[in-house]
Structure 1
Amino acid sequence: MSLKKTVSFIGLFFVMLNTFAQYDIIPLWNGDIPNSQKSDEQELVESTDSKRIYTVQTPTLEVYLPTKRNATGQAVIICPGGGYHYLTYDFEGTDIAKWFNSKGITAFVLKYRLPGSKSVKVSYQAPLQDAQRAMRIVRSQAKKWHVNPNKIGVIGFSAGGHLASTLGTQFDKPNTFKETAIDIISARPDFMALIYPVVTMKMDYTHKGSRNNLLGENPSEDLVNQFSNELQMTKNTPPTFIVHAEDDHSVPVENSLQLYQALKNKGIEAELHIYPHGGHGFGLALGKGRLEKWTDRLYDWLQSL
């Protein structure tokens, strides 16, 4: 092969590779992003032992598909944590998606806007708006991804667990922007999985960083109650799976205990696993003894739904 043809082939290969990558990453919004404003802010990516994304400018869904032969029809939207300050995008996002794929479950990693971004108008509205839109996109295109539209759930880690539980309890929150056809599709998850989640915004057990980033340093009592998800349970809240470590010194285990009690009070099917050791931010917990088996418990639970 001549040098010219070789260069052309390599160029075509990288164009194709980029095209496929873009096909798998879907912008949540067409045109103007609601609740946004122009700023000079740039999206920042930091890669050390994990990939962190700051000041998200273009919220997206990254699609991870199992082989058709293994696909179960279940799907899940993944909300990485990061205290509403950044997204732990691989450790609590793409790594989790690959695990779901190994079980035949289609996964979507949500890159949601962060409330402290200068590009966001009303801080606390943006993450939920993105989560609602993500669920509506997946449900509206379920056939394309060989997904059952009645088997689409959400999983969240830490502050991502707060976003997931906000979606699970406030999925029908009215939009504050001009709606299009997709916005009438249900944003209710069919199940929730919450892993060491931030749940409450009340000062006794909240994660102060998440609270300050989402609501500001002096939020009103009404706003605190609105985003304390243990107070937002209804009979339409989906079945919920919860994992937490008792020695979590960042997000107290009481977040999960209060949530479980609230679910029980409403008669919502729930499963809670409390491990004595594990701390905070353990992800898949690889190499952490029996804590590593929490994913097995999740898989058992998903099969039982």
Structure 2
Amino acid sequence: MNKKNILWSVKSKLILFFKMLFYIFSIFLAFWNFSIFVFIIFLVNIPILRKSIFGRLPNDPKTPTWKYAESVRYTEKNSLDIFYPDLERLNLTKFKGIVVFAHGGGWISGYRRQPNNLSWYRYLVSKGFIVATIDYTRGYKAGIEKLIDELIEAVDFVMKKFENQHKIALMGLSAGGHLALLTASRIPEKIERVVSYYAPCDLLDIWESPSLFARFASATTLKRLPRKSKEVYEKYSPVNNIPDNFPKTLLVHGLRDTVVPYVSSVKMFKKLREKKIPSKLLLHPYGSHGFEFVLRDEKTLDMIEKTAMFLEGDVW
């Protein structure tokens, strides 16, 4: 190899080296910027996250109300927890029903054993309900269809486990309420009732909200922005998915919600009424997102009690 070829080979290798270095630096920079963005969103939403994680119902029994609990696999990779009431202590001859519970967290965070979720389990179990709850796959790892499928699989597992002896209700908070409503629209014949607390029933409403976290979470889960893919947001909005046999529905929202505008639940309620689906809408005049874990007023207590009544079959 002559001197000219050697120089050319060295030059080519140096160019390749610096190209690789540039690509690595670009990837690092992109990841760094993304991390900073997520961190900023986290900081901005600390009050919301704090009450979502550590909040507690005003009528929370505070101590475990279940006779026993078990964790079982409902698919090869996924598990659910089941909490059983103590029928003898409650003076009941049978369970009042099964509540399959979906936690909140914007589809991308949260977990089934968060203190606030456990507060709901304790309360529902104290009322005589079996509670089954799952951790669905994070929205940034999977698409929205995967999350819905996991909730459907959980319902099927619970139905099989209890041999269809008990009526099943779906209940969810925020993003979990959204998933509960969508799941009910897919398998309405299997669901007796559905309860949705401050859920984005119209996903486009999130983009009218000042919450950066809500916008980031929806875009991350749907993998699209509404400006370019409005039809995707419409497709996965419960307000556009109401079959004629949709189950009885309870919607709960706070008028001061700055994460998911309360108008989202109002739209859903109106559509349900148009289709003559038995439904109720409870609005708290001072409630923000996750209000039931913060407020201790009579209105909040009444709404929680009415939730239990609705699940039992009383539409008051």
TM-score by length of 2: 0.68
Relative to its length, the structure with more helix (as a share) is: 2
Partner of 1:161: 177
Q: Residue 212 and residue 81 in structure 1: after superposition, are their counterparts in 2 closer, same or farther (change >3 A)?
A: same
Contact 2:199/2:264 (<8 A) preserved: yes
In the alignment, which residue of structure 1 is the partner of 2:151?
131
- Tell me, yes or no, if structure 1 residue 170 matches structure 2 residue 154: no
Partner SS, residue 250 of structure 2: strand
- Please identify the structure whose Cα radius of gyration is greater: 2
Aligned residues: 235
1:202 paired with 2:204, answer yes
Q: What is the DSSP-based 3-state SS (H/G/I as helix, E as strand, rest coil) of the residue aligned with 1:233?
A: coil
Unmatched 5+ stretches in structure 2: 1-67
2:117 match: 93
Partner letter of residue 303 of structure 1? E
Matches of 1:205 and 1:272, distance apart in 2: 21
Task: Map Cα deviations across residues 115-155 of structure 1 (whole Å, 9 max, x no partner).
Answer: 212xx4xx122110110001001111114xxx734x10110
Amino acid at match of 1:27: R
Q: Matched residues in 1 for 2:115 and 2:235: separation?
A: 29
2:102 corresponds, among 57, 60, 79, to 79
- Classify the secondary structure of the residue corresponding to 2:203: coil
Match of residue 192 from structure 2: 190
> In 2, distance between residues paired with 1:134 and 1:239?
20
State the Cα deviation string for residues 71-106 of structure 1 (Å, max 9, x = none): 434110111100111115324422211111100110
User: What's the offset of the Cα at 1:243?
Assistant: 0.8
Q: CA deviation at 1:190?
A: 1.2
Q: Is the CA contact 1:60–1:111 (under 8 Å) kept in the aligned structure 2?
A: yes
Which secondary structure does the structure 2 equivalent of 1:217 belong to? coil
The structural deviation recorded for 1:298 is: 1.1
Aligned-pair distance for 1:288?
Answer: 4.2
User: What is aligned with 2:39?
Assistant: none
RMSD: 2.2
Structure 2 distance, partners of 1:111, 1:200, is 23
Q: What aligned pairs does 1:227-266 form with structure 2 within 5 A after superposition? A: 227-266=236-275
Distance 1:105 1:286, change over 3 A: farther
**Residue 132 of structure 2: aligned partner:** 108
Cα pair 2:171 2:180 within 8 Å, conserved: yes
Taking structure 1 as reference, are residues 24 and 258 closer, same or farther at Cα in structure 2, changes over 3 Å only? same
AA paired with 1:167?
T
- 1:4 is matched with which residue? none
Displacement after TM superposition at 1:208 (Å): 2.0
* Cα 1:288/1:88, change in 2 over 3 Å: farther
Could you tell me whether the CA contact under 8 Å between 1:242 and 1:256 is conserved in 2?
A: yes
Instruction: Output the CA distance in 1 between the equivalents of 2:170 and 2:73.
Output: 18
Shift of 1:214: 1.8
Rounded Cα–Cα distance in structure 1 between residues aligned with 2:184 and 2:170: 8
**Residue 212, structure 1, aligned to residue 219, structure 2:** yes
Find runs of 4+ consecutive structure 1 residues off by over 6 angstroms. none
For residues 251-272 of structure 1, give each alpha carbon's deviation from its aligned partner in whole angstroms, at most 9, with x where no partner exists. Answer: 1001100010111111100011
Aligned-residue sequence identity (percent) comes to 20
Contact 2:111–2:135 (8 Å) recurs in 1: no
Secondary structure of the structure 1 residue equivalent to 2:252: strand
The change in CA–CA distance for 1:205 and 1:236 in structure 2 (over 3 A counts) is: farther
Greater relative CO (CA pairs within 8 A, separation 6+): 2
Q: 1:222 to 1:170 in 2, by over 3 A?
A: farther
Question: Cα offset for 1:286?
Answer: 5.6
Q: Which amino acid counterpart does residue 98 of structure 2 have in structure 1?
A: A
Deviates more, 1:86-95 or 1:245-254: 86-95
* C-alpha distance in 2 between matches for 1:303 and 1:169: 21
